[in-house]
Structures are given as structure tokens and as C-alpha cells.
Amino acid sequence: MGADWTRTGDLIVGVQRPPEIIRTLSTAVVPCRCLCVVAELGVADEIEDEPVSVDELASRCGADADALNRVLALLASYGIFRRVGRVYAHTPASRLLRSDDPMSMRAFARLWGAPLLSTVFANLEHSVRTGATAVEVVEPDGTWAYFRDHPGEAQVFAQGMSARASVDIAAVLDVFDFSRFGTIADVGGGRGLLLSAVVEVTPGSKGVLFDLPAVIDALDIQHERLTSQAGDFFVDPLPAADAYLLMDVLHDWDDAHCVDILSAIRRAAAPGATVLVIENVLGELEEEQAKRRHTADVVMLAATGGRERTAIELSSLFNRAGFSSGAVTDTSGPVRIVEARAI
């Protein structure tokens, strides 16, 4: 026998009854869409420290009061908003839907309501049957081509990724000491949120942000120890550095492209330089984190053609590109840090 199951009738102890598991997952799209709509309408921004009636919220947000009440009542059952009759107040979770919260995740919720991801997951069967991305049903040239042609959605995507990254960055800084690196390059670092945070807590370090010209040209970097370099990591030389950060980069690509990215870093890196891959690394995990990481893996399957990998799978990519694999560091969130050294 495999796992040792303890059952009472059809109840697995400590877990929902099997019919409830199926029912919960089958209807999960409903609270998800409610969250996306409330984030899009900016409902949380209309509640300050005092409770607000749903009629007032509907008036401020341009919504139907009865419909909004029913949606908010569902979210309140999940701990998002506190409900007393037709009046709503904040909970710690609903405050994260405010645009001005330091850890705001409003943009992340809006991202999941955007047309591209909604359509991609409506076509997930295409991925499961063929192994190809579901996004190719919408845009044959892939997600990044779609965003080039839909700048409004691209902006929502960038904001959503930044919102999620803010939470992950805090978890990374709590467990990893970057002070041993003099120059740190963030490859594919987007708006530079990770690199800025790292440099801020390591006064002896300087950072170089590397990303596509369109990304770099839109930035206004003010930090005296931060510089930027525009380029394509599949084509252009990367900066020399003591450490290279790859946060949520490799999981966007198949193995061959990952080796190309790592090989480009290896050409720029001196022996002994460090690569830090920061993403949802699969492994033997506590259940809730396993759910998050495997969810991210299916997102990669459908949207980019990449995948979440185990530390052993990442080690194989490192070795093919001229790196020796090293430590794996867990964080309090879903991301892990996998370290490699240039040979």
C-alpha cells in the first residue's frame, strides 16, 4: 500500500468530504470572479475606518446596490470585508484591495479578471490535450506578443506582477543575506522592485537592472547605487556582476530557453559568481504552499509554455550552462531561493 489513509465512512480525517472537495473546486470560479470585479470597481478604496452601507458603496462605484451586496456577502464569507446586514467594514484581507495600502494586491486581483487570462483558462483543455499553451488559441505568437498589441492589459499585468512581487520580496529579504555581493545584476528585473529593495538593505552593494529596452526606457531610476542596461538576454551581452538575480524568469521558459539564459549569464560572470533563482520551486511541501506552487505551474503551462521546476530540475539546467548548484533557501511565502555558482 502507498499512503496510510485514516477514514471514517467516506470522510478522510482532517479533510473535506469528497463531494465537498469537488463542489468547492467546481465553483471556485465564482468567488474568484467576485474578487476580480470588486477590485476592478475599487470598492475597498471607498471604505475607510468606518463601515459603509452597500447603497453608498454602489453609488460611489457605479454599481447596482442589490447585486453588489450579494457579491460582497460572498466575499465576506471568505473573510474579505466584514458584513453586518447591508453595511461593510474592512478586514485585514480587504484592506489589501485598497490602492493605497503599502502591500496592496488590488492590481493582482484585477489581473485575474483581465480578458487574456479569462480566455486562456477557458481554453485549458487545449493545453492538456496537446501540451501546447492555451494562449496560442488567442494569440499564436504567445503572451508577450499579445501584450505588445494590448498595452492597457499589459499595464494591468505589470501592476499585478508588481503587487505579487512586493509580498514575495519581503519574504526573500527576511531570510537571505545579500551583503556579501558587491555588484548585483537583476536579469529580467522589470521595474526593479526586487533590486531596489536588495540594494536598500545592503549599503555596500550596487545594482544593475537588465531588461528589454521598452522596459528600461519607461523607468526613471533615482537611486545613486542603481544603474540600468537595456538588452535582450537571448541576444545581448549581460553586465558583469558578483550575483545575478532571476526572479520569476526561468519559469516562463522551456528548458532549452532556460539554458540559453543561464549560458548568457555564465558568459558575463567570472568564476565563483552566484546566480539566485527566486520562484515557486516544487518539492515536498506543506499542503497550502504545494497548492500555490502547483497552481503557478499550471499557469505557466497555459500562459507561457514554461513550468515550475524542482530544485533537482534547476540543478540540471545550471550544470548544462556551466554552474554548480548549491543551497535551497525556503521563505515564509511560496517562493524559494536556489543558489548556483559559476564554475
C-alpha cell at 241: 556582476
Q: What is the DSSP letter of 341?
A: E
* Per-residue pLDDT at 22 exceeds 50: yes
Query: What is the predicted pLDDT for the residue at 7?
Result: 42
Nearest residue to 314 via CA among 325, 327, 298: 325
Nearest residue to 278 via CA among 146, 190, 180: 190
State whether residue 204 is helix, strand or coil: coil
Q: How many CB atoms lie within 10 A of CB 164?
A: 18
Nearest residue to 162 via CA among 95, 243, 219: 219
State whether residue 286 is helix, strand or coil: coil
At 158-175, the pLDDT tens digits run 888 888 888 899 999 999
The DSSP code sequence of 122-171 is: HTHHHHHHHSS-SGGGT-TT-HHHHHHH-HHHHHHHHHHHHHHHHHHHHH
Query: What is the predicted pLDDT for the residue at 4?
Result: 43
Count of alpha carbons within 13 Å of 65, Cβ hemisphere only? Answer: 11
What element of type H or E holds 60?
Answer: helix 54-61
Of all residues in the chain, the percent with pLDDT exceeding 70 is 94
Average pLDDT over residues 59-80: 98
Query: What is the predicted pLDDT for the residue at 286?
Result: 58
Average pLDDT of the chain to the nearest whole number: 92
Report the C-alpha gap between 160 and 133 in whole angstroms.
21
What element of type H or E holds 257?
Answer: helix 255-268
Q: Which residues are designated catalytic?
A: 251
- Place 11 in a pLDDT band, splitting at 50, 70 and 90: very low
* Per-residue pLDDT at 281 exceeds 70: yes
At 235-279, the pLDDT tens digits run 999 999 999 999 999 999 999 999 999 999 999 999 999 999 999
At 91-135, the pLDDT tens digits run 999 999 999 998 899 999 999 999 999 999 999 999 999 999 999
Nearest residue to 138 via CA among 333, 342, 184, 127: 127
* Per-residue pLDDT at 334 exceeds 90: no
Report the C-alpha gap between 258 and 246 in whole angstroms.
11
Q: What is the DSSP letter of 269?
A: S
C-alpha cell at 135: 494562449
At 71-99, the pLDDT tens digits run 999 999 999 999 999 999 999 999 999 99
